[in-house]
Chains A and B, each alone.
Chain A
Amino acid sequence: MKRFITLLTSVAALALLSCERIIPFNSEDVDPLITLYTTLQPDSFVEASVSRSVGILDQGQPLLLDNAQVWAEDSNGIFLDSLYFLGSGKYRAASLVGQEGQSYQIHAKYPNLTPAYGRATIPFVPAEGAVDSIEAVEGNLNGPGPIALPYVSYSFEVIDDGRPGYYFIEAYERLRGTTTIPNYALEVETDDPYVTGSGFGQFQWKQRIDLSNELFLGGSHTLNIRVYQWEFSGMEILFKLKKVDQATFFYQRSLDQYQRANGNPFTQPVSVYSNVADGLGVVSAEAYRWILP
């Protein structure tokens, strides 16, 4: 009886396992596209990263593109400058430097691939509002944020220029008295209701606070920020206040979501933002200021 049931189940399993078929893709859905990234900043050379995507069914990785044709135009389509190849898919303009408030179109062209382009307008460097520390708190098991981490509270004023966009606020630390630009951002947090959404999935704590200026356009807004750090003495906190365009905001947020969700079968699928016409990637712009409280 046992053997009979085993045999019956095996036959059933075999029948079910053989229920597969290959589903074709439309070639236009999987054909390789140019991937173009540019982050325009004021007073910085215009740079781009250019690569080529692969179809989801293709073996191998995407390819960095050497010697693509990359150039910049203004908002009226007038040629401004060519970007020359630096290596590893990177390109830089010979002389073109981004200007606040200016719009640029970045084009990329490569044989056998559809030309792609994107456009962005460089924000103005944000004004420096008042940033003051409020209190420093020792590690607290019942406190907010990461368990037991000490933190410093700051009141952070953002003065808006009246142009729609988003702010990214990051906190860094460096040895007091030095002028080095730190690379890694600290964990920050705020309870401010203006802050755009909270964490996704299981993680609330981030290394950046995102704020839309929609609710205080042209005015100012002060938020309380907690900066988490292990050591107080000998270190100083400095903030990087960025004004970013919608493309930067959408791309960064969607990429954060994608990275958290990737591989987890219990999450909703995530689409990473792209604004490159006939291609992939993001042409975006930002302007920032360092603020020492």
Chain B
Amino acid sequence: MKHFTLSLFLLFCSTAVLAQTRGTYTINGFVTDEATGEKLINAYVFDKVSQQGTTTNAYGFYSMTLPKDSVALQVSYVGYAPYLKGSFLNRRTVTEMDVMLIQDNILEEVEVIGSISGEVQERTQMSSVNLDIKTVKNLPVLLGETDLLKVIQLLPGVQSGTEGTSGFYVRGGGPDQNLILIDGVPVYNVSHLFGFFSVFNADAINNVQLIKGGFPAEYGGRLSSVLDVRMKEGNMKEWKAEGSVGVISSKLTVEGPLWKDRTSMIVSGRRTYLDVLTQPIILANNPNGSGGYYFYDFNAKVNHKINRNNQLYLSFYNGLDEAYIRYNDSYENSGFRNQTLSDNSLNWGNRIATARWNWIVTPKLFSNVTATYSRYRFLTDLNLEENQTDLNTMITTNNRFAVTYLSEIVDKGARWDFDYAPSPNHAIKFGASYTQHAYEPGVNTITFASGSNSLDTNFGSFPKVADDYVAYFQDDWKIGDRLRVNMGVHFNGFSVDEVNYQSLQPRLSARYLLSEKSSIKWSYVQMAQYMHLLSNQTIGLPTDLWVPVTENIRPQEAWQTALGYAHNLGEGWELTLEGYYKDMQNLIEYKDGASFLFGFQDWQEKVTSGRGWAYGMEFLLEKKSGRTTGWLGYTLAKTMRQFDEINFGNPYPYTYDRRHDVSLTMSHQFNEAWSGGLVWVYGTGRATTLPTRTYYARPDGNSWEPWYYTIDQVSGRNNFREPAYHRLDLSVTHTKQKKWGEASWQFGVYNAYNRINIFFMDFGSDDNGNRVLKGYGLFPMIPSVSYAFKF
């Protein structure tokens, strides 16, 4: 397989080098928002004359090499009026065709020009969804908080975790198998408030793409999905601000030109005020204590255009969650003053910084150089101090005890990517990157001091540093009028503790046009992942540990194949139908009985490796334009796991094996002032491990006494299926134009028919004293209100 892959790689290289450029014409340009200058990513650019099409890259740039001397350029992007312009081309010079799109007027139906809005059947890329950020903002949400990941969970093939949480599971994969990128930088934990909200501030987001299969060669390092989130660059034309005030948090975004049409900036912040609200209650109950919880996000970006061919970006993100309890009490007794001080906190968060340079090297060659820094940290800090003062002698004795638990991963890296359009039939991407990962996967520190005795010790897992290097190449190759093939290879090497792993991963996808409006697609990919996430499924704390592969714990590997059908139904309607099969190897899981917290063992001794497999069928019917937009998605899927040391080697259903998953979303614009949203979801219940009987253990062979140890029988891992999950959310928004800008009130209700969806289960008693299994829901029907403004 490796030889075949290498041969394919060399064939592509030679194809690219030998690509004919004679008799061709090159156009390139940026696609931007006319009002703000914001680059539009994945905008569809199509030439009606040659019937060639492409999409803008992550920086809004496109380049096409065309066979004819005239072009009729159509550019489309969801939420914008289509653009059409014709021009004659000169072979000797490159024609720069920058395009500015205007946001569409939603009071009138958008006129569809040909297949312009139906590029789903044109694209080679399958198993992917481009989310319109306006859709994310218009759908009803939990407690009035717009959340990107909650919307992602509504897509077919994507399962949500426990009630209300942000974790997502794609085509049977685990939560660690999703590559989540913010401006190209991987983020390790995207949850606030124990998973109920994500770190993404929708006001600062430009573009979101989710890829579930058929991964392009530029992506790697995770098995199951890529969520590529691109943040806004800042308004190049004028200063703007928008914000909102909600039940849980408030946010503010300010953007504008530092130098009109040359340098822009955007700053966005969000903070919750749960701690402020709860502080009086805590103080009322305990004047000596304080406690609370808060989270915040801060995004900042500066974008400078040196000239048309060179652009610089600097971006920064910092987010934190902290829960804390502090206590300070003193009293006098028997001639002593006793003081107890306690300071306990739990905090976790991400910090990301990037510097980027875009360079149009030649009209056909675009390059991007990026330097990145990313840190995720989870820290538990428990401190207790006791002081006792003899009131006669005024001598104080002091005892201190502190425990910290730290889990951290720090990435530093650089990458260089190229987009190259050598000929009408080839669109090539290639590049390389290096990242240094520094892991501290669960280090416990105990400090104790009492009189002359002291202890200061570390135990648990030890820090590791890993080198991660990548090279990739892919060619999107048009073969004839109907067939388009994307062939690529992704090479990844990973080195840690004198252990080296390497993988050469083929990436293949193809699209065959059945007609102007429909196509069939196929893909085959191999993926490798060099880090694991140890996740305890019994409690809901963010205690997940990111650990690297080692000599004993091998990389996760997967291959996936998918077959699909895409149809543009016209009038903004699109239909896709896909079937897939995925096989995963070297997955890791905590062994039965393993303790994940405050353990004396290295993490490698607590885990075991095994395999998983998943298959299913996904249906998606979308309406992308007009007064009413939304989608209906259905997934029929099965996913299993098998570990030799778990469940006695027998296969068992994965926790998030949901046989059926349905989602219906709708946004409707009634008129200029009023709009509404609806979400209905249904999913088969999670698989969980639950005892069903109690029985005696084997008696002690020498004892005749009827004393026996009892066992709660668990017939197998994930032997019990929770009740199905379903929920209806509704919202209505009133927008009013003010002299200073625009104000909106959104009224929503989460879980409109008050379904008790299970968050956790426990045994208890009913009103008659009978023992029953009780399921507890987290969110009943919850109304919400939020106020948003723009100026």
Contacts and interface: CB of A to CB of B under 8 A. Distances in A.
B772 A268 contact: no
B756 interface: yes
Contacts of A16: 778, 780
A22 B153 CA distance: 27
Contacts of A55: 692-694
B605 A269 contact: no
A22 B763 CA distance: 10
Interface stretch (B114-122, B219-227, B544-552, B714-722): B714-722
B777 A202 contact: no
B738 interface: no
B773 A269 contact: no
B648 A23 contact: no
Interface string B760-771: 010100100011
Contact of A202 (B591, B599, B693, B779): B599
Interface string A52-82: 1111111101101000000000000000000
Nearest to A30: B692
B760 to A, nearest CB: 10
Given A16-B778, A16-B780, A266-B536, A271 B714 contact: yes
Interface stretch (A2-10, A95-103, A123-131, A136-144): A2-10
Contact of A88 (B597, B704, B710): B704
A200 B699 CA distance: 23
B763 A255 contact: no
A5 B691 CA distance: 41
B596 A266 contact: yes
Interface residues of B, number: 71
Most buried by B among A16, A54, A204, A269: A269
Contacts of A251: 698
Nearest to A9: B281
Contacts of A56: 690-694, 712-713, 763, 771, 773
Given A21-B775, A58-B771, A270 B780 contact: no
Interface in B704-733: 704-706, 708-717, 720, 722-723
B331 interface: no
A105 interface: no
A23 B693 contact: no
B592 A268 contact: yes
Contact of B706 (A54, A58, A64, A264): A64
A32 B776 CA distance: 27
Interface in B586-611: 590-601, 605-606
Contacts of B773: 22-25, 56-57
B105 to A, nearest CB: 42
Interface string A93-117: 0000000000000000000000000
A19 B727 CA distance: 14
B694 A266 contact: no
A268 B591 contact: yes
A97 B770 CA distance: 46
A266 B706 contact: no
Contact of A57 (B594, B695, B713, B770): B770
B696 A23 contact: no
Interface residues of A, number: 70
B698 A21 contact: no
A222 B401 CA distance: 45
Contact of A29 (B596, B692, B702, B712): B692
B272 to A, nearest CB: 15
Interface string A27-38: 001101101010
A280 B593 contact: no
B649 to A, nearest CB: 10
Given A57-B773, A88-B704, A200-B593, A269 B693 contact: no
A260 B593 contact: yes
Contact of B695 (A35, A199, A260, A261): A35
Contact of B693 (A22, A53, A260): A53
A62 B284 CA distance: 48
Given A35-B696, A39-B701, A22 B538 contact: no
Nearest to A254: B592
B306 interface: no
Interface string A204-223: 10000000000000000000
Contact of B595 (A5, A58, A267): A267
B756 A270 contact: no
A269 B538 contact: yes
Contacts of A271: 592, 647-648, 689, 714-717
B1 interface: no
Contacts of B715: 29, 271
B697 interface: yes
B758 interface: yes
Interface in A240-293: 250-251, 254-255, 257-261, 264-274, 280-282
Given A33-B693, A37-B699, A271-B714, A1 B280 contact: yes
A251 B709 CA distance: 14
A260 B599 CA distance: 13
Nearest to B685: A23
A19 B777 contact: yes
Interface string A164-188: 0000000000000000000100000
Contacts of A274: 713
B277 A5 contact: yes
B260 interface: no
Given A15-B780, A39-B701, A268 B693 contact: no
B771 A19 contact: no
A22 B772 contact: yes
Contacts of A254: 592, 648
Contact of A23 (B278, B284, B775): B775
Contacts of B780: 15-16, 18-19
B772 A57 contact: yes
B539 interface: yes
A140 B758 CA distance: 53
Contacts of A146: none
A255 B700 CA distance: 13
B774 interface: yes
A110 to B, nearest CB: 14
A19 B776 contact: yes
Contact of B699 (A49, A260, A280): A49
A20 B696 contact: no
A62 B695 contact: yes
Given A200-B591, A264-B595, A23 B774 contact: yes
Given A6-B281, A183-B702, A268-B593, A25 B692 contact: yes
A133 interface: no
B701 A265 contact: no
Contacts of B601: 198-199, 202, 204
A51 interface: yes
Given A23-B723, A197-B645, A269-B592, 4 more contacts: A20-B776, A59-B771, A266-B597, A269-B717
Top 7 A-B pairs, shortest CB-CB distance: A257-B593, A53-B695, A19-B777, A261-B593, A271-B714, A269-B689, A53-B693
30 contacts: A2-B284, A5-B280, A20-B756, A22-B766, A22-B775, A37-B698, A49-B696, A49-B698, A51-B695, A51-B696, A53-B694, A55-B694, A56-B773, A57-B771, A61-B710, A88-B705, A204-B600, A254-B648, A255-B711, A259-B709, A260-B593, A261-B592, A266-B596, A269-B689, A270-B592, A270-B714, A271-B648, A271-B715, A272-B697, A281-B695
Interface of A: 1-2, 5-6, 9, 15-16, 18-25, 29-30, 32-33, 35, 37, 39, 49, 51-59, 61-62, 64, 87-90, 183, 197-202, 204, 250-251, 254-255, 257-261, 264-274, 280-282
Interface of B: 277-278, 280-281, 284, 536-539, 590-601, 605-606, 645, 647-648, 689-699, 701-702, 704-706, 708-717, 720, 722-723, 756, 758, 761, 763, 766, 770-780
